[in-house]
Structure 1
Amino acid sequence: MTTFALSAYVLVWPVLVAVVLFVISRSFFREWAEARRKGEDLI
């Protein structure tokens, strides 16, 4: 493996984790805000 390919492979994982965390967080806060507007419990 070249140095560039190995570096790209290693750096992809934090980006993937950040994207997944962003999607989960965005969904959570949307549902939380909607429940709050309706006056319901989140759980």
Structure 2
Amino acid sequence: MRIRAGSYVRILIRELGLNQPFLVDACTHDFDGTDHTMSLELKMI
């Protein structure tokens, strides 16, 4: 729950050579029992 719009997350995708912070533009948290998923809209900074 710490991730929300306005925060930064570091994205690492080795296959693409990507390792940098992104700004969270929009975030939706979904809970189903003990499962927690998020949908993120990110902006490259």
- TM-score, scaled to structure 2: 0.17
User: Whose relative contact order is higher, 1 or 2, with alpha carbons under 8 Å and at least 6 apart?
Assistant: 2
Q: Which structure is higher in strand share?
A: 2
Greater share of helix: 1
TM-score, normalization: structure 1?
0.18
Higher-Rg structure is 1
